[in-house]
């Protein structure tokens, strides 16, 4: 699925080549081409998409069986019935509505939100010529941020920042901000006041970083903010309590599981404090078991994406995009096997899911 998506994205000119990210590589996409690609693939697959709809309730049968959801649209409430419902809300909203077990971060502490933004008008060759090709900015920039903060010239709460060249000329994609409340409190976007404050403070903070870039970074003297992300970026909120939980130690131990349905080689990338913590997995990968997507109780409901059952540092690795694609693909197969064989979704054999994934071209 990730491969198919990348191929189509590249065909539309929306995917850059691999760029260095510390000890690994990443690829930068163009957001509009991403949306076009997603629309096209969904249309090709015959999916009925309902945009601008919020799930507001869950349809329960007999106290524990999920039979679909109620969604709020501009024409009112729409009821969607399904043999298997997949909660891919990122926030385990359906799990919570169904009253199933969930948890939030490390005893309620979650990774900080970040407002992504794009600078245009950058002299990219001067920028790359000076700073090199690693998208994780080196100590020169980190030290400068700390010095300027100490001198009272700027308020830049994160000194380890990531700047990516993109598919467009003269553009940098900026992953720099660390959004906290105005009183310094860490924010949890599950709370509507925190989510709103993150949005507002995020927009304020990108102006401050852009001012610093213009004043101090090579190639950025004439740069300007093109746009912010469509909303503040949320890394972590509520997650499903699953039959299994991916543990922090499983990541760096590169643990493999008999019931694996996905692989990940991404580092632990924990966003907390002025310097995000990055711990690398070199020349190895860990696996994610199917049971991380199966809630502890109830029937008819699976989860996919970043609301999987995984500990705080484990989800700081397992939450990233290509991995979420692979979870969605695997959970989609699980749901389809459950419907075809009239099985409870929790009873689907992970080997059957793997077999379907491998038929799709995965190597698990």
Ligand X SMILES: Cc1cc2nc3c(=O)[nH]c(=O)nc-3n(C[C@H](O)[C@H](O)[C@H](O)COP(=O)(O)OP(=O)(O)OC[C@H]3O[C@@H](n4cnc5c(N)ncnc54)[C@H](O)[C@@H]3O)c2cc1C
Cβ-Cβ contacts under 8 Å for 72 (sequence gap 6 or more):
53, 54, 55, 56, 78
Kindly determine how many residues on this chain lie close enough to bind ligand X according to the rule CB under 6 A: 21
Question: Is the CB of residue 105 less than 8 Å from the CB of residue 248?
Answer: no
Residue span 209-228 as binding mask against ligand X, x where in contact by CB under 6 A, dash where not: --------------------
Residue span 122-161 as binding mask against ligand X, x where in contact by CB under 6 A, dash where not: ----------------------------------------
- Closer CB to ligand X, residue 10 or residue 343? 10
Q: Which two tokens stand for residue 142?
A: 């980190």
- Closer CB to ligand X, residue 298 or residue 305? 305
Output the smallest distance, CB 89 to ligand X, in A.
3
Interface segment toward ligand X; rule CB under 6 A; list 73-81, 126-134, 229-237, 257-265: 229-237
Is 173 near ligand X (CB under 6 A)? Answer: no
Is 116 near ligand X (CB under 6 A)? Answer: yes
Question: Is the CB of residue 331 less than 8 Å from the CB of residue 346?
Answer: no
> Among all residues, whose Cβ is closest to ligand X?
305
Rounded-to-integer distance, Cα 141 and Cα 258, Å: 44
According to DSSP, the residues that pair with 288 across neighbouring strands are 262
Question: Is the CB of residue 268 less than 8 Å from the CB of residue 252?
Answer: yes
Question: Is the CB of residue 270 less than 8 Å from the CB of residue 293?
Answer: no
Coil vs helix vs strand at 119: strand
Radius of gyration of the chain (CA): 21
Is 105 near ligand X (CB under 6 A)? Answer: no
Binding to ligand X in span 299-338, by CB under 6 A = 305-306, 319-322, 324
Positions in the binding site for ligand X (CB under 6 A): 26, 54-55, 88-91, 93, 114, 116, 175, 233-235, 305-306, 319-322, 324
């Amino acid at each position: 699925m990730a491969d198919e998506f990348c191929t189509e994205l590249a065909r539309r000119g929306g995917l850059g080549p691999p760029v260095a990210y510390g000890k690994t590589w990443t690829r930068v996409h163009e957001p509009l081409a991403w949306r076009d690609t997603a629309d096209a693939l969904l249309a090709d697959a015959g999916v009925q998409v309902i945009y601008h709809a919020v799930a507001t309730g869950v349809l329960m049968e007999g106290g524990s069986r999920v039979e679909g959801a109620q969604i709020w649209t501009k024409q009112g409430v729409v009821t969607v019935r399904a043999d298997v419902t997949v909660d891919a809300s990122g926030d385990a909203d359906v799990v919570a509505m169904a009253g199933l077990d969930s948890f939030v971060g490390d005893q309620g502490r979650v990774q900080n939100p970040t407002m992504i933004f794009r600078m245009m008008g950058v002299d990219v060759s001067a920028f790359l010529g000076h700073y090199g090709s690693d998208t994780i900015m080196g100590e020169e920039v980190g030290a400068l941020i700390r010095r300027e903060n100490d001198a009272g010239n700027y308020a830049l709460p994160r000194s380890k920042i990531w700047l990516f060249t993109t598919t467009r000329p003269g553009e940098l994609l900026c992953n720099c901000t660390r959004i906290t409340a105005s009183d310094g409190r860490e924010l949890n976007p599950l709370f509507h006041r925190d989510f709103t404050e993150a949005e507002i403070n995020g927009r304020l903070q990108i102006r401050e970083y852009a001012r610093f870039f213009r004043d101090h970074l090579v190639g950025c003297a004439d740069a300007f903010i093109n746009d912010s992300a469509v909303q503040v970026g949320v890394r972590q909120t509520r997650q499903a309590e699953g039959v299994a939980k991916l543990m922090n130690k499983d990541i760096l131990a590169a643990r493999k599981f008999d019931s694996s349905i996905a692989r990940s080689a991404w580092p632990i990338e924990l966003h907390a404090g002025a310097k995000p913590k990055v711990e690398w997995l070199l020349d190895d990968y860990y696996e994610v078991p199917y049971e991380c997507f199966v809630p502890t109780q109830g029937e008819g409901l699976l989860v996919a994406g970043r609301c999987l059952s995984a500990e705080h540092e484990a989800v700081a690795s397992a939450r990233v995009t290509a991995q979420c694609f692979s979870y969605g693909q695997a959970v989609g197969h699980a749901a389809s096997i459950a419907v075809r064989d009239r099985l409870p979704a929790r009873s689907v054999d992970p080997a059957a899911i793997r077999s379907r994934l491998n038929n799709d071209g995965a190597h698990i």
